[in-house]
Each structure stands twice: as structure tokens, then as C-alpha cells.
Structure 1
Amino acid sequence: MRTARAWLADTAGGLPRIFWYLWTGLLINRVGAFAMLFLPLYLADARHASDALAGLVVGAYGIGGVAGVLLGGVLADGWGRRRTLLWSHLAAAVLMAGMAFTTSLPAIALLAGLVGIAHSMPGPAFVAAIVDVVPAERRSRAFNLHFWAFNLGMAGASALAGLLAESSYLVLFLLDAAATLATAVIIAWKVPETLTPATVRATPAIRAGLRTPLTDRTFLAFVGLTFVLAVLTTQTSTVMPLAMRADGLSSSAYGLVVALGGALIVVGQLFVPRLIDGHRKHRVLAWATGLTAFGYGSLALADHLSGYLLAALVWTVGSMLAAPPNAEINAELAPPLLRGRYQAVFYLTFPAAAFVAPTVGGVSLQYLGDWHWLAVGGVGLLAVAGHLVTGPRRERRVAAGTESQRVERAAPDVSPTTVTAACRSPRTTAP
């Protein structure tokens, strides 16, 4: 069996130095990004907000994230990767420090929305910068490490934050701001602008494609199912801490549950490809969504830490299985000239879920109690059926696009009109 050290050696080989600065900045950012995980508990414990009101305030963070993804994508292409990364991190650090000293709930809600914008803006720029500097044949390695750093950082953040939250929420927010500022310093010091003049000149040629993903029914069906999965997984950081508090569990117990999930993902990433290779993607996603639904649905019976830990084990396995086919399908459905636009629509599902999950979930938990978790599990089972129904058609479209890919490679000069028309055809896909 291959060791983690051997996997890292194979994965890390040949990556440029700029990538490692980006990777280090992301890791530091994630280790420090723990305050928003505990925002529901902070609102309930320190600001005495009801579950429903706490859900609305946390939902403001999700709404800000929706705007931040769009704004970050536009600025990364037009203003530059480096500037977008630098100024979004600086803004997030200032806003997080402001939240540390704010006591008014309306002001906290406003700051949460602005922090959501600042936290989501770097995402498209991070990915775009990695694509800019890493050769195509090494991007799979780079994104594996990107995903690994994200989850390793989140696991460390969750464990650390659980201890800090019990001593001082002020320290929690200020350390988060400091880690964000450290990332900004690394970007300012070591990361040059990776956006080339050729890319800038090419950008206006595909502006007509902004609406193309929104008329691609096959892609939108996939995005909708991904949104359901995102709503399920977002329960961990939005509704579950309130449920654990109602069961008399501490902040450190919540941090332990979240840390377990992050640690399992970090380790499981080494072995998931072996489990799913050779299986049809829609069936893998159906199994993954089913496990996730079962994990969250089982919280209806969880009253002690052990129950939450067992449930986290189940839904984390589901998340691990879902990640590779989700990324592959998103790449397969996106035409080459419109991959950025397709990525933007796809990644909107996560901040949108960060709004819907707490906004609806806070009210649901307050009035339904444990039945909330059964409802969450039921919604997940509907998504399982959705994958089984829509998956075969989606995979036929990908298979039928093989010949179109050869034609595209033979005639690379494609006009925006041709691209838009091709996207609407069920036989055309990205390479």
C-alpha cells in the first residue's frame, strides 16, 4: 500500500514556485478561517440571538458569498489575479477585526454579508492563477494539493477554534483576521501577476457566452443536484452547532466533530480514486448523496457526542466519494472557451447553499426540532433519484461529444456565436 509520503512525492513533483506560494497562502488562510464556523454559536451565546435570527445573520454571509464569487471572477479576469487576491484578503482582515468589536446584531449582519463577499472573492482568482502558472499536464497534481491544503487547514482550524471559542470569541475573530492578513502578506511579497496580455485580449471575445451556461439544461440539472448536496453539507457549519448546543454539548465538542470530517477527507483523498475508478459517475454520485443524506438524517437520533461523530463519519465518506466525479462532470460539460463561466455558475451553488441552509434551517430547527434532520435526509434522497434519472443522459452527451472534440482541435478558431450554438446542442461537450 502506498504511503502518504510517497503520494505527496508523486503529486508535488515539477510544480512551479509560484504555485507553492499560493498553496502556502491558502493553507494559512484556512487554518485561520475558523471564526465564521462558530458564528451561530457566537450569536446564540454572546449576543443571545434566537435560532431563527442566528440563521438569518449567518444567511447574510451566504448572500455575500454569492456576490463575492461573481465579483471575484470578473475582477480576476479584468483587474488581475494578484490584485484580486491581495485586496480581498486585506478587506476580509479588516472586516473580521471589525466583527470582533461589534455588539449590534444589525451591524453584525451587515459585516457578515461583507465578510461573505471578501471570503468568496479569492476563490476564482486562486484557481485562475494556478491554471496560469501550472502546465496542463501537471494541473491534476496541483489541484489535488489545493484540495488537500484546504481540508487540512479546515481540520486544524476546527480543532483550534473549538478551544478558543470557549475562552474568548474576541480572540477567535482577531486571530482569524491575523491569519487572513498573513496570506495577504505572502501574496504581496511572493506572488506576481499571472494574467497575461494574451488572456486579457481574449476575454472580450467570449463575453457573449455569459448567458450560455444558464441555457444549458443538462448542465443546470447537474448544478441543481450539486446545490442540494451543498445544502446538506452546509448543515455542518450552520444548523448543526445550534442542535449540538441544544443537546448540551460544548463548543469544543462541535470543533471535534468538524475536525474529524476534515481529517477523514485529508486521509481518504489518497484512496477514493481506487474505490470509484471504473464505476459510472452518476451511480457514484447517487451513492455519495445517499450516504450524505443518511448521515444528516441520523442526527434526529443523536443526543450525545458519539452519535454526532458516527454521523459525521457517514456523511464525510459521502462527501469524499462525491468530490472527484463532481469535478470531472463540471469539466466535461463546459466548452473550452467558456470554462470560466461554467465554473462560476457551478461554484455559485456553495454560497447559495450557505444562505439557504441557515435561513431555512434555523427556522426549521426552531419549530420542527429533530424532525428537521429527517426532512434534510428526505431532500437528499430526492437528489439520489435525480442523479439516477439525469445521469445516463448526461453521460451520453459526454460520450457523443468525442467526435466534436476532434473537430474542435482541427479547427481551433471558433467564434462566440458558434460556441454559443454548440453549447445548446446536446451533442457538444468540452474536452
Structure 2
Amino acid sequence: MQGFKDVPRVVWLLAAGVFVNAVVSFTFVFVFLYLTGPRGLGAAQAGVVTGIGGIGLVAGNFTGGWYGDRFGHRRVLLAASALGGLTLTTLPLLPTPLLYAALPLAQYANGVVRAANSALVAVTVPEGARRQAFAVVRCVSNGGFTLGPPLGALVAAGLSYDWLFLADGLGTLFFALWTARVVPARGAARTPAAAPDGGRGRGGVWAALRARPAVPVLLGAILVADTVYRQQYFTFPVFLADHGLDVRAFGLVIAVNGAVILLLELPAAVALRNRPPLAVTGSGLVLVGAGYAVLIAGAGAATAVAMMVLVSLGEILYKTTATAYVADEAPEHAVGRFQSLYAGVSVSGTVLAPPAGGALYAAAPWLLWPLCAALAAGAGAVLIRLSSRQGRKAPAAAPQATGGGGEHSGGGEERHAPRPAHETGSRPRPVAG
């Protein structure tokens, strides 16, 4: 396909494994309903349990890239997939108190897998094609996600929720085996490129962030937006249930998300690849806010579908673009760590959304959706304004080449494609993500 010719074959093969795993990745979608249903917990308590599990997911995302920069992204992905798959298969057998430990462990492993997979794509694809490469992985993932929720709802209603955890665990183990086959380790062990300050620790990363002030602003906007975005998995199904729509309706509405992304993700990535990334990301966040604003009109099939379509369109604009933008802005020695920072922030809502949304929904349900709409739209407006300011400064900005050699993950597993020197400031680049 035109526009995707620079995406390496290994990315397409990796995406095939992501698709299969996504079809059976039921746990995240149905865990809140599982806790409030078969486990008999109230909404507030289920929010706390899910939030604690989300801490593991966020921690895994924040650390996965750091492990990968040191030990190799492929190796880290394989180890974390095996741990996560084995833990998920045992969850239904555990008493409820042990879920406080097992769920964070499973989510931690899943977070490491997510960050390692993202970094693996980033170090495989040359700058200028990363937005398309991330779009490929996200598109096939959402293709699986389109099939997964309705299938999971049928399994949960016809059999039990226990089968969802078993399928999810086996799918994660399959992904480990598939990755080991299609992404071979190659090359002798090499020393990763040194950070500009001579080290590979935290100091180098924070110094790099200070040199790229737009990246922390983007991370802050994503932190706010993800807390809003994740409400679709926590308070939104409870909201539907309180208005007479059961788990099957929720599964079908969630499937709309995957269907919209499956149809439009790749065309949008090609059509918008030359647009300023911060403006595209900000526009996506505004659309997410508009989606939640629709729910102010009440619960029903029409409003639920309209909400999901708008949120999905916003997701198409902001998620792929922001991921690729952070990868393009990363210095050579810290691609994995920059991806971990973004990956951790981009799932922060799994910790913040359940307790915050659950408490607000219990105390003042009428306030939840207006507040969600305002927060997401406000975060988007900040990025759009920042992009506009950068555009006005761009003509006077002088290019400043980045230094540093080619980064290589420890263990010699992945080799970076050559990256051209580019500006390290906040001036937008045409094909940056």
C-alpha cells in the first residue's frame, strides 16, 4: 500500500501476533464487571481493586523501556509475556483478597509487554515512517478488539467469566512464542550509546526532556485525557447498566470503537502524516471530550454509539500521532525510555479513572460527563495552542543537529535504522508523529 512501503516486514509479522492476542484480551474490558458481578463487590470497592491493578500496568509501562534499553526489547517482551500469561490463567482460582496481589502482577507484565513492543517498533522503523508503523500495529490490534468484546460478552453470559481469563492468558503466551519466531535476536552484544552526560541513567533522560519542552507538555495533556478516556471501561458500563443496557449491549458498543479504528486508522495515518503532530493530537483530544459531552443528553443506544464514534475518531488522531512524536523526539540512547514515559502516562487512567470516576459517579453522577468533556477538550486546546505558537516561531528557528551515536539495546538484539539529524527543539517536523 502506498504510504506503508517503508514499514519493515517484521512489523507486519509482529502485528499479526498482536491481532491474535487482541482477540482474546478480555480481562481489561470485563474486569470491572467481573468484580461487581461474580465477585460481588460494590462499584467503589471494584474501582479500588481495579485501580490497584492499574498501578501494576502503569509501573510496567514506565519500566519496560528502561529494561529494553539495557537488556534488549525483544528479550524483555518475551519474559514479560510469559509471566503475564501464566498469571492471568490462575486469576479465576484465587480468592478475592489475593486479587490485590495477582492483578497488579499480571498488569505489570502486560505493561512491560506494551512498552517493549512499542520500543521494538520504534527502533526497527526509520524516522518518517513511524506514524504509519504504529498505525499498522494499532489497526490490527483494534481489528482483534472489534471481535473480542462481543465474543467475550457471549462467553461471559453463556459460560463464565473464568474462561475469559484463561483465554487471555493463553493468548499472551502465544504472543511470546510468535514474537520469538518472527523477531529473531541478531548481532553480537554491543554497548548502548552513551547519554550526552556520559551516563545511561535518569539524568540523561531528564536532561533530554528539558531540551524538548513540548514533550512534557504533551505528556501532561495525555495524563489528563487518559483519565477521561478510560471511563468508557469503568463508569460507562455501569452508567449503561443503570439505564437498562446489559453487558451484551456494552460489548457491542465497545466493538464500535474497534470497527471505526479498523476502517479509518490506516487512511488517517497516511492522510495526516505531513500535518503538525501536536495539532493533530490536540484535535483528537477535543473529539474525545465531545464524545463524553454526548452522554449529557442521557443513556440510550443512540447516545452510546454516538459517544463511542466520537471517542474513536479522537483516539485515531491522538494515540498513533503522540506515540510516533515521542519516538521521533527521543535521543538515540533513550528511545526505549522515552517510549516508557509515554506508555506509562498513556495508561495512567487505569489507576486514576476507576477510583475518581467511581467516587464521582456515586456522589454526583450528573457531574461526571460534563467534567470529562471539559478536561479532555481543555487538554486538547493546550496542545493546539502550543502547535500554533511553534508554527509562528518556526521560520526564525535555526536547525540544531542532535548528537550521539546510534542507540542499541543491550544484548545486541535490535539494530536501529539510521536516523537523520533533526531539530531537537519544539519546531514541528512534517512527518514527525
TM-score class, shorter-chain normalisation, is 0.7 to 0.9
Structure 2 equivalent of residue 61 of structure 1: 53
Instruction: Tell me the secondary structure at the aligned position of residue 197 of structure 1.
Output: coil
CA distance in 2, matches of 1:191, 1:273: 24
Structure 2 equivalent of residue 181 of structure 1: 173
Does the alignment pair 1:50 with 2:46? Answer: no
Structure 2 equivalent of residue 125 of structure 1: 116
Structure 2 equivalent of residue 159 of structure 1: 150
Indicate how the Cα distance of structure 1 residues 133 and 13 shifts in structure 2: closer, same or farther if over 3 A, else same. Answer: closer
Structure 2 equivalent of residue 11 of structure 1: 4
CA shift at 1:285, angstroms?
A: 3.8
> Mapping of 1:299-310 within 5 angstroms?
299-310=295-306
Structure 2 equivalent of residue 35 of structure 1: 27
Indicate how the Cα distance of structure 1 residues 187 and 244 shifts in structure 2: closer, same or farther if over 3 A, else same. Answer: same
* Bigger mean CA deviation after superposition, 229-238 or 41-50: 229-238
Structure 1 equivalent of residue 247 of structure 2: 251
Match of 1:298 among 289, 294, 304: 294
Instruction: Tell me the secondary structure at the aligned position of residue 399 of structure 2.
Output: helix
Indicate how the Cα distance of structure 1 residues 245 and 191 shifts in structure 2: closer, same or farther if over 3 A, else same. Answer: same
Structure 2 equivalent of residue 372 of structure 1: 368
Q: Which runs of 5+ in 1 are unaligned?
A: 1-6, 415-424
Do the aligned residues in 1 keep the contact of 2:333 with 2:404 (CA within 8 Å)? no
Indicate how the Cα distance of structure 1 residues 33 and 374 shifts in structure 2: closer, same or farther if over 3 A, else same. Answer: same
- 4+ runs of 1 displaced by more than 4 Å? 131-141, 201-205, 273-283, 394-402, 411-414, 425-431
Normalised to the residue count of structure 1, the TM-score between the two structures is: 0.84
Structure 2 equivalent of residue 24 of structure 1: 16
* Bigger mean CA deviation after superposition, 349-358 or 258-267: 349-358
Task: State the identity %.
Answer: 24
Do the aligned residues in 2 keep the contact of 1:81 with 1:194 (CA within 8 Å)? no
CA shift at 1:31, angstroms?
A: 1.4
Do the aligned residues in 2 keep the contact of 1:298 with 1:374 (CA within 8 Å)? no
Amino acid at match of 1:212: A
Does the alignment pair 1:222 with 2:218? Answer: yes
Indicate how the Cα distance of structure 1 residues 341 and 135 shifts in structure 2: closer, same or farther if over 3 A, else same. Answer: closer
CA distance in 2, matches of 1:201, 1:291: 40
Greater helix content: 1
Do the aligned residues in 1 keep the contact of 2:155 with 2:161 (CA within 8 Å)? yes
Does the alignment pair 1:98 with 2:90? Answer: yes
Match of 2:233 among 211, 232, 237: 237
Do the aligned residues in 2 keep the contact of 1:293 with 1:315 (CA within 8 Å)? yes
CA shift at 1:23, angstroms?
A: 2.2
Structure scoring higher RCO (CA < 8 A, sep ≥ 6) equals 2
CA shift at 1:103, angstroms?
A: 3.3
Instruction: Tell me the secondary structure at the aligned position of residue 47 of structure 1.
Output: coil
Do the aligned residues in 2 keep the contact of 1:289 with 1:380 (CA within 8 Å)? yes
CA distance in 1, matches of 2:7, 2:289: 40
* Bigger mean CA deviation after superposition, 255-264 or 182-191: 182-191
CA shift at 1:121, angstroms?
A: 0.5
> Mapping of 1:132-151 within 5 angstroms?
132-134=123-125, 139=130, 141-151=132-142
Structure 1 equivalent of residue 322 of structure 2: 326
> Mapping of 1:337-416 within 5 angstroms?
337-395=333-391, 403-405=399-401, 408=402
Indicate how the Cα distance of structure 1 residues 241 and 332 shifts in structure 2: closer, same or farther if over 3 A, else same. Answer: same
Indicate how the Cα distance of structure 1 residues 195 and 389 shifts in structure 2: closer, same or farther if over 3 A, else same. Answer: farther
Q: CA RMSD in A?
A: 3.2
Does the alignment pair 1:193 with 2:188? Answer: no
Indicate how the Cα distance of structure 1 residues 202 and 365 shifts in structure 2: closer, same or farther if over 3 A, else same. Answer: same
> Mapping of 1:256-275 within 5 angstroms?
256-273=252-269
CA shift at 1:52, angstroms?
A: 1.1
CA distance in 2, matches of 1:157, 1:72: 26
CA distance in 1, matches of 2:282, 2:13: 37
Do the aligned residues in 2 keep the contact of 1:397 with 1:426 (CA within 8 Å)? no
Amino acid at match of 2:174: A
Q: Which runs of 5+ in 2 are unaligned?
A: 407-423
Amino acid at match of 1:248: G
